[in-house]
A and B are shown apart, each in its own frame.
Chain A
């Protein structure tokens, strides 16, 4: 069976989902392919836009400040690409770059409003969000279940609550880290406590995973039971706030949060956590819902493996599942296959490859990455604001987000790329991952739709 569509999106992480959602909701027939795992589902589910410049030690207080700095200082950054369009006047380049990211982020926030992953925050301030390690990180939008804004009040008291048999979060370590940090910078709250609750979802006493706990909390009167244990602990400490790992539910997280707050009389919020990530899953599922609502078709378990070209146009993509193979013809294609986790890039001792079209790969400084030894593009120090340069490798694109070849010419006029497959930035040290994926997905699909409308993308 072969398929046809106007837009084919390869990769259903953040970048691909944003692109596909926009086109399908504008009535363009869209197919979205997903091979398997995506970094998006692993993410903490908070939308970073720009936290730090490479090597910087102070975070930006607002994403727009960050984007302004990127526009001025990092010309090879994916955020900067829109500035290269011929239609952009030199004196408006910065505005264009900041404006396009702002538009993409507010689109995302609006779109997710009535889903299982509603967001709060704005492009005009970075949130200092609390993590399961007890540390904080700058991010732009957090899911509403993670809202800890009122913790800034002078008289707040915070209780960290964990679960017995759930090793992904240890309230005592997190509480210590958090308190030491607060004391050092003189910020509230000054009083912090911790407790361990017993949940036993589905009768299990150990090896609990976040997904299991979240499923459990989505059902029956499990929130009431949780509240019964939590309230005395919160009362004992005189807590105004309770921080819990991100497990409040998959489908009903926000309702669960509200009910728990009602029953305990304290504000409850989720910490930013690590995989397996419930908020990452919520984000991914919410976008999938929007995509489907617009009439898009998601083919999970489908891997793009090769292609046919007709002259300089990409004509069709060959797709494989464990059971069958097929051809998908499309008028425009978005490549949003991610980095190494997603599988868009692969590397061995001889170099870094793009996995579907064998496109040219470059390093963060736009030198060829096709024949680099990955270990030489790493830093001696593992966890460092200087980042691991190998993670800045990826594709280089023209101002319309079309991958280009060695000669600087686009590989095809109807293939566009978005998300972490792009070169020129390291999302981990910048804290920019989902922001770049959203923004580039948002722009790339507009370019693709322009192309479909016959706009000249020169």
Chain B
């Protein structure tokens, strides 16, 4: 395949763009994906990862139907990175209950296909037995189960699968313009941030999957696209504060939740119309307090938990205006600008495969290609088989916990990593102890998953995402990256500074409690001992670090 001529160029490497690239490649189209940063570096990385039954959208029965089907598909293609989590909605007051009970039937209709039980009501005793942290005055609770996925791994696996099917995926390539003839797109111009050069490729069609940037890309193509941008913030708590997920009515009557998520717990989320630059977005004091106070009503001890950090993202909603955010459809729209570009508005993580299927159908139709969608049939890499971590733990002499976490990221590919430790037993060394991540997995990811920076490694491995936020793994992992990629000394230091900057963006807004001591330690290591505050490397201020 030529490196400069494509059938379709997909712009954006989030959940949507990677799903589109995978589908296009699987249908035999010459596909290029261009991502300005890294795979899953934007919105999708800030989401809760819920592959939801659509319960929240039951006013939109077709959306609920769609979600339910996608759960079934993801359970088929990505079972290794899916997690089922029981959820309680404790009622403290009759007014907490929804006015009608239609949602129970709606949820339960396809429960069997999703491999979950029908929704049920629990007594206060049963509620407190499942989750002792719930307020003792609970009068009843609703019990149901939902699925969650690691959004970073999903996006990455989609990208890798696209590559396996012949697509090209270029990260750190920002689209800056289009070459047009007679109003029609002929080529895409992008700036390669690694080589520092501007490049052009020819293409028949462009799919604009840039989430909250979609209107900007449309404008670059002299087209108009309206979006309703909506900010959502999560507070991340250490460990599993609750055994099960909790949903509750917030101070303003919206729903908020507490979800066990990997080794942490997610408290979310807010929903605020925003006009902020997505790159500068940080959680606000008000959002943090709103979330804590809202969940405090049902989990009174929430403030005793250790807050690790926050994260904020922007939902690229369909432009329904003059209604409150939760009334905006969670469906998506495909907008054909009829000049070679097709854009998305709206959508969710759970719908990314479906969105891709729809848009690829359209792309094929426009190109006159007859190929059917197989993305719901073929498993993603690593989902080929079950993995017996217990016997692997014995065979390779690595702790079961470490292997369980590794399996949750990689499924059957775990064996490729373990094989590396036969020749290099020293690579069994744990580099990130919070998660945990061993050196062999870091080396494997560097070799096989095209990371350019330490932050890219974090997305692939959950490196530095635990309570210490990279305090003690950043320099170790940076050194491994520098060795594998044969980086200069300055790059090694810049990687450390960049990683710290990105973690600090989330830590800073919620800084309190144990995180004060944790950050003192980090400052001790990197500023006091490393003297990195005085380093003269070329460090570019991040967008959220600029200004007063």
> Taking beta carbons and an 8 Å cutoff, which residues of A are in contact with B?
39, 42-44, 48, 52, 57, 59, 131-138, 164-168, 170, 172-181, 184, 205-208, 272-275, 339-341, 343, 345-349, 373-375, 378, 380-385, 387-388, 390-391, 427-429, 431, 433
A131 contact set on B, CB distance < 8 A:
529-531
Given known contacts A42-B521, A339-B520, A384-B533, A133 and B511 CB-to-CB distance under 8 angstroms: no
Give the complex CA separation of A345 and B517 in angstroms: 9
Give the complex CA separation of A43 and B535 in angstroms: 20
**A374, B512: Cβ atoms under 8 Å?**
yes
Give the complex CA separation of A184 and B532 in angstroms: 16
Give the complex CA separation of A207 and B344 in angstroms: 48
> Taking beta carbons and an 8 Å cutoff, which residues of B are in contact with A?
285, 289, 303, 425-431, 439, 472, 475-476, 478-480, 482-483, 487-490, 492-493, 496-497, 500-501, 503-504, 508-513, 516-517, 519-521, 523-536, 541, 544-547
Closest CB in chain A relative to B532 CB, distance in Å: 5
Give the complex CA separation of A181 and B535 in angstroms: 10
Give the complex CA separation of A223 and B458 in angstroms: 38
Given known contacts A374-B516, A382-B500, A165 and B429 CB-to-CB distance under 8 angstroms: yes
Given known contacts A273-B529, A275-B521, A339-B520, A167 and B504 CB-to-CB distance under 8 angstroms: no
Give the complex CA separation of A340 and B479 in angstroms: 29
**A428, B509: Cβ atoms under 8 Å?**
no
**A178, B489: Cβ atoms under 8 Å?**
yes
B526 closest partner in A (C-beta):
A383
Residue of B428, B501, B530, B535 ringed by the most chain A CB atoms within 10 A: B530
A133 contact set on B, CB distance < 8 A:
475, 493, 496, 529-530, 532
12 residue pairs of the A-B complex, CB under 8 angstroms, read A43-B524, A59-B534, A133-B496, A167-B476, A167-B479, A170-B476, A173-B482, A272-B529, A275-B521, A381-B501, A382-B504, A390-B511
Given known contacts A172-B482, A173-B492, A375 and B508 CB-to-CB distance under 8 angstroms: yes
B534 contact set on A, CB distance < 8 A:
52, 57, 59, 137, 385
A137 contact set on B, CB distance < 8 A:
528-531, 534
4 tightest A-B CB contacts, nearest first: A170-B479, A176-B489, A177-B489, A382-B504
A373 closest partner in B (C-beta):
B285
Closest CB in chain B relative to A56 CB, distance in Å: 9
**B490, A180: Cβ atoms under 8 Å?**
yes
Closest CB in chain A relative to B287 CB, distance in Å: 12
Closest CB in chain A relative to B391 CB, distance in Å: 21
B546 contact set on A, CB distance < 8 A:
380
Closest CB in chain A relative to B265 CB, distance in Å: 18
Give the complex CA separation of A446 and B210 in angstroms: 66
Instruction: Select which of B488, B523, B545 is within 8 A of A180 by beta carbon.
Output: B488
**A433, B521: Cβ atoms under 8 Å?**
no
Instruction: Select which of A170, A176, A382 is within 8 A of B488 by beta carbon.
Output: A176
**B511, A378: Cβ atoms under 8 Å?**
yes
B517 contact set on A, CB distance < 8 A:
339-341, 343
Give the complex CA separation of A382 and B513 in angstroms: 18
Closest CB in chain B relative to A101 CB, distance in Å: 18
B523 contact set on A, CB distance < 8 A:
383, 388, 391, 428
Give the complex CA separation of A388 and B524 in angstroms: 12
Closest CB in chain A relative to B36 CB, distance in Å: 22
Give the complex CA separation of A166 and B431 in angstroms: 10
Instruction: Select which of B428, B509, B516 is within 8 A of A206 by beta carbon.
Output: B428
The majority secondary structure among interface residues of chain A is loop
**A134, B489: Cβ atoms under 8 Å?**
yes
**A427, B475: Cβ atoms under 8 Å?**
no
Closest CB in chain A relative to B293 CB, distance in Å: 11
Residue of B439, B519, B535 ringed by the most chain A CB atoms within 10 A: B519
B501 contact set on A, CB distance < 8 A:
381-383
B427 contact set on A, CB distance < 8 A:
206
A170-B482, A383-B527 given; 19 more Cβ-contact pairs under 8 Å: A43-B529, A57-B534, A133-B529, A165-B425, A165-B429, A170-B480, A184-B536, A206-B426, A274-B472, A341-B517, A341-B524, A347-B516, A348-B512, A378-B508, A378-B511, A383-B497, A387-B533, A427-B528, A428-B523
Given known contacts A167-B429, A172-B483, A341-B520, A135 and B512 CB-to-CB distance under 8 angstroms: no
**A170, B531: Cβ atoms under 8 Å?**
no
A348 closest partner in B (C-beta):
B512
Closest CB in chain A relative to B422 CB, distance in Å: 12
**A340, B520: Cβ atoms under 8 Å?**
yes
A341 contact set on B, CB distance < 8 A:
517, 520-521, 524
**A135, B530: Cβ atoms under 8 Å?**
yes
**A383, B544: Cβ atoms under 8 Å?**
no
Given known contacts A170-B483, A177-B493, A381 and B541 CB-to-CB distance under 8 angstroms: yes
A427 contact set on B, CB distance < 8 A:
528
**A340, B497: Cβ atoms under 8 Å?**
no
B545 contact set on A, CB distance < 8 A:
380-381
**A42, B426: Cβ atoms under 8 Å?**
no
Give the complex CA separation of A305 and B503 in angstroms: 34
Instruction: Select which of A57, A179, A275, A388 is within 8 A of B525 by beta carbon.
Output: A275
Instruction: Select which of B472, B489, B511 is within 8 A of A181 by beta carbon.
Output: B489
A183 closest partner in B (C-beta):
B489
A39 contact set on B, CB distance < 8 A:
520, 524
B440 closest partner in A (C-beta):
A206
A345 contact set on B, CB distance < 8 A:
516
B428 contact set on A, CB distance < 8 A:
165, 205-207
Closest CB in chain A relative to B98 CB, distance in Å: 33
Given known contacts A176-B482, A378-B508, A383-B500, A348 and B531 CB-to-CB distance under 8 angstroms: no
Give the complex CA separation of A390 and B513 in angstroms: 13
Closest CB in chain A relative to B35 CB, distance in Å: 25
Closest CB in chain A relative to B525 CB, distance in Å: 5
Closest CB in chain B relative to A378 CB, distance in Å: 5
**B513, A347: Cβ atoms under 8 Å?**
yes
Instruction: Select which of A177, A205, A380 is within 8 A of B426 by beta carbon.
Output: A205
A350 closest partner in B (C-beta):
B512
Give the complex CA separation of A219 and B478 in angstroms: 33
Give the complex CA separation of A178 and B340 in angstroms: 52
Residue of A165, A177, A206 ringed by the most chain B CB atoms within 10 A: A206
Residue of A132, A375, A391 ringed by the most chain B CB atoms within 10 A: A375
**B525, A173: Cβ atoms under 8 Å?**
no
**A177, B492: Cβ atoms under 8 Å?**
yes
Give the complex CA separation of A273 and B519 in angstroms: 17
A48 closest partner in B (C-beta):
B528
**B510, A167: Cβ atoms under 8 Å?**
no
Residue of A44, A167, A184, A378 ringed by the most chain B CB atoms within 10 A: A167
Instruction: Select which of A57, A207, A374 is within 8 A of B511 by beta carbon.
Output: A374
B529 contact set on A, CB distance < 8 A:
43-44, 131-133, 137, 272-274
Closest CB in chain B relative to A201 CB, distance in Å: 13
**A173, B483: Cβ atoms under 8 Å?**
yes
A433 closest partner in B (C-beta):
B528
Give the complex CA separation of A381 and B546 in angstroms: 9
A178 contact set on B, CB distance < 8 A:
489
Closest CB in chain A relative to B270 CB, distance in Å: 17
Give the complex CA separation of A168 and B490 in angstroms: 19
Give the complex CA separation of A178 and B493 in angstroms: 11
**B493, A383: Cβ atoms under 8 Å?**
no
**B535, A135: Cβ atoms under 8 Å?**
yes
B513 closest partner in A (C-beta):
A348
A391 contact set on B, CB distance < 8 A:
520, 523
Give the complex CA separation of A253 and B498 in angstroms: 36
Instruction: Select which of B425, B483, B487, B532 is within 8 A of A383 by beta carbon.
Output: B532
Give the complex CA separation of A179 and B489 in angstroms: 8
**B520, A135: Cβ atoms under 8 Å?**
no
Give the complex CA separation of A207 and B426 in angstroms: 8
**A380, B489: Cβ atoms under 8 Å?**
no
Residue of A52, A165, A272 ringed by the most chain B CB atoms within 10 A: A165
Instruction: Select which of B439, B503, B510 is within 8 A of A375 by beta carbon.
Output: B510
Closest CB in chain A relative to B476 CB, distance in Å: 4
Closest CB in chain B relative to A282 CB, distance in Å: 16
A179 contact set on B, CB distance < 8 A:
489
Instruction: Select which of B475, B528, B535, B544 is within 8 A of A380 by beta carbon.
Output: B544
